[in-house]
């Protein structure tokens, strides 16, 4: 076994190895590299090309909040507030535009049944303090002229924005390397343990020492080799299919993010039109299905019949890292030197800034921010008496 040189520690910063180069791992590593830490990200494939590539990029803290997610909404809302500064810093460091759009999000009802559901969600979300505006069908169609003429009603959330998640991961990779971080792709990493603590990572027969190991391996986090059983995060892949259509950017068919009853629809500036997303429990099956594609197209077509004319460019399959309680798993574990940043499920792009802030702060200052107290990895052990 080859033992590589330990990563050098600059100043007071610990050396950090991050397992997983999705948005979460890259974001944490970029922030630590900026602070002067020696940090290396390991990705077993092309970094940024898993869930973070497949995502829709909605920053939908408001309209996505459902009953039972009141606590998660606070974290999501904090992250939503952090996004503008995060965006400027990332764009400045990377020299790349990340396609942030702030037109807001519209939720529409197409039938009377939908309208009842819409009213319920509207009242519930407003009760949390989310700023929403009720729209008549005429007003909805004024803002979205190609919306189905039979639209029954809608509401609008001005603070739910979107970002081009693919541009975000490309920018993060660039910003990380510019800040002095190291990105190693096609390098599957295992946790290296010694004396009961994490001491680095193993890639093949090479061991790289680090003071802190961060597990940010998305839907694969549970299976990372070398993790002690008691800290294996209860994360599973929640499969999602998503489609890319192409519209004329000069005359876009859709202008805002629109949530229809059976699909959400996301217009990008360059004319891409995303339709998402299925939610499936099928393990890591990467093959798209006719049923998945059909339900997305039908869901979108009911809201925007004009999509019939558009070109279908791409079918994407991705794996959301879903935890046992659907909430993220963030912070130190009972194993010294081992930190978790996983389980972001359907909100990993939205939760990126708050995750980066909280995990970097912990690594640099040793302090767990109150925002992530409820999401600590040991919460599952408390419930199950040791098994996670």
Query: Kindly report the CA angle at 325 between 320 and 326, in degrees rounded to 5?
Result: 25
> For residues 297 and 276, what is the distance between their CA atoms, to the nearest angstrom?
9
Distance CA 58, CA 265 (A): 10
Strand-strand pairing, 212-215 and 16-19:
parallel
Contacts of 345 (CB under 8 A, 6+ apart): 238, 320, 321, 322, 323, 326, 327, 328
- Exactly one of 199, 275, 300, 350 binds ligand FAD (CB under 6 A); that residue is 350
Other Cβ atoms within 10 Å of 334 Cβ, number? 12
Q: How far is Cα 122 from Cα 112, in angstroms, rounded to an integer? A: 15
Nearest distance from C-beta of residue 76 to ligand FAD, angstroms:
9
Order of strands across the sheet with 257-260? 133-135, 153-157, 105-109, 257-260, 263-267, 272-276, 235-246, 311-323
Token code pair at residue 247 = 């519209």
| Cβ closest to ligand FAD, residue 15 vs residue 355 | 355
Binder among 152, 183, 216, 330 for ligand FAD (CB under 6 A): 216
Task: Tell the smallest beta-carbon distance from residue 259 to ligand FAD (Å).
Answer: 11
Which range touches ligand FAD (CB under 6 A), out of 42-50, 247-255, 365-373, 377-385?
A: 42-50
Of 30, 42, 73, 122, the one binding ligand FAD by CB under 6 A:
42
Q: For tokens 């407003």, what's the residue?
A: 126
Stretch that binds ligand FAD, among 43-51, 173-181, 298-306, 368-376 (CB under 6 A): 43-51
> Minimum Å distance from CB 114 to ligand FAD?
21
Task: Indicate which single residue of 33, 167, 224, 243 sits in contact with ligand FAD (rule: CB under 6 A).
Answer: 224
CA distance 371 to 384: 23
Question: Which residue from 30, 37, 40, 56 is in contact with ligand FAD, where contact means CB under 6 A?
Answer: 56
Instruction: Mark residues 182-201: x for contact with ligand FAD by CB under 6 A, - for none.
Output: ------xx------------
Give the residue carrying structure tokens 């869901």. 299
Task: Please choose, out of 121-129, 149-157, 298-306, 318-326, the segment that lies near ligand FAD by the rule CB under 6 A.
Answer: 318-326
Residue 379 has phi, psi (to 5 degrees) of: -65, -30
Using CB under 6 A, which residues numbered 234 to 273 contact ligand FAD?
Answer: 240, 242
Nearest distance from residue 109's CB to ligand FAD, in Å? 21
**Cβ proximity to ligand FAD, 121 vs 165, nearer residue:** 165
Give the CA distances from residue 125 to residues 111, 243, 257, 354, 375, in Å, rounded to whole numbers and listed in that order. 21, 28, 18, 21, 22
Question: From the list 24, 38, 168, 231, which residue makes contact with ligand FAD (rule: CB under 6 A)?
Answer: 24
Residue span binding ligand FAD (CB under 6 A) among the ranges 126-134, 244-252, 337-345, 363-371 = 337-345
Q: Nearest distance from residue 223's CB to ligand FAD, in Å?
A: 7
Q: Does 78 bind ligand FAD (CB under 6 A)?
A: no
DSSP one-letter code for 227: -
Specify the residue for token string 């594609």. Answer: 293
Determine, following the binding rule CB under 6 A, whether residue 318 of this chain makes contact with ligand FAD: yes
Residue 318 — φ and ψ, nearest 5°? -140, 170
Nearer to ligand FAD, 188 or 371 (CB): 188
Q: What is the DSSP string of 73-89?
A: HHHHHHHHHHHHHHHHH
Which one among 3, 4, 45, 269 touches ligand FAD, defined by CB under 6 A?
Answer: 45
For ligand FAD, how many residues bind (rule: CB under 6 A)? 44
What counts of helices (H) and strands (E) characterise the chain?
9, 20
Min dist CB 43 to ligand FAD, Å, is 4
Site for ligand FAD in 93-112 (CB under 6 A): none
Which of 319, 309, 276, 326 has its CA nearest to residue 58?
276
Residue 7 carries which DSSP code? P
Q: Which tokens hold the place of 300?
A: 């979108």
From 78, 161, 166, 344, residue interacting with ligand FAD (rule: CB under 6 A): 344
Residues forming the site for ligand FAD (CB under 6 A):
19-25, 42-45, 47, 50-52, 54-58, 188-189, 216-220, 224, 240, 242, 276-277, 318-321, 342, 344-350
């Amino acid at each position: 076994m080859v033992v590589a040189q330990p990563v050098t520690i600059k100043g007071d910063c610990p050396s950090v190895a991050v397992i997983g180069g999705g948005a979460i791992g890259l974001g944490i590593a970029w922030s630590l590299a900026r602070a002067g830490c020696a940090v290396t990200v390991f990705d077993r494939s092309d970094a940024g090309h898993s869930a973070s590539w497949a995502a829709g990029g909605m920053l939908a803290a408001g309209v996505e909040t459902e009953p039972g997610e009141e606590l998660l909404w606070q974290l999501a809302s904090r992250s939503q507030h952090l996004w503008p500064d995060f965006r400027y810093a990332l764009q400045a460091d990377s020299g790349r535009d990340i396609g942030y759009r702030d037109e807001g999000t519209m939720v529409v009802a197409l039938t009377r049944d939908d309208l009842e559901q819409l009213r319920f969600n509207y009242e519930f979300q407003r009760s949390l303090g989310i700023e929403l505006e009720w729209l008549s069908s005429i007003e909805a169609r004024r803002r979205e002229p190609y919306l189905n003429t039979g639209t029954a009603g809608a509401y609008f959330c001005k603070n739910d924005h979107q970002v081009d998640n693919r541009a975000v991961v490309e920018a993060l990779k660039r910003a990380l390397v510019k800040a002095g971080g190291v990105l190693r792709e096609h390098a599957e990493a295992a946790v290296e343990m010694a004396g009961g603590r994490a001491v680095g990572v193993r890639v093949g027969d090479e061991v790289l020492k680090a003071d802190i190991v961060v597990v940010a391996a998305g839907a694969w986090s549970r299976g990372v080799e070398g993790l002690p059983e008691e800290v294996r995060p209860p994360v599973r892949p929640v499969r999602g299919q998503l489609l890319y259509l192409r519209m004329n950017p000069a005359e876009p068919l859709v202008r805002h993010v629109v949530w229809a009853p059976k699909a959400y629809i996301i217009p990008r500036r360059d004319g891409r039109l995303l339709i998402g997303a299925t939610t499936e429990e099928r393990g890591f099956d990467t093959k798209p299905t006719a049923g998945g594609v059909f339900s997305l197209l039908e869901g979108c077509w009911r809201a925007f019949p004009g999509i019939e004319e558009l070109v279908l460019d791409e079918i994407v399959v991705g794996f959301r890292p879903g935890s046992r309680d659907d909430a993220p798993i963030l912070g130190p574990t009972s194993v010294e030197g081992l930190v978790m940043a996983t389980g972001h499920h359907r909100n990993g792009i939205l939760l990126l800034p708050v995750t980066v802030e909280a995990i970097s702060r912990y690594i640099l200052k040793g302090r767990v921010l109150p925002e992530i107290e409820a999401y600590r990895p040991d919460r599952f052990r408390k419930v199950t008496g040791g098994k996670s």
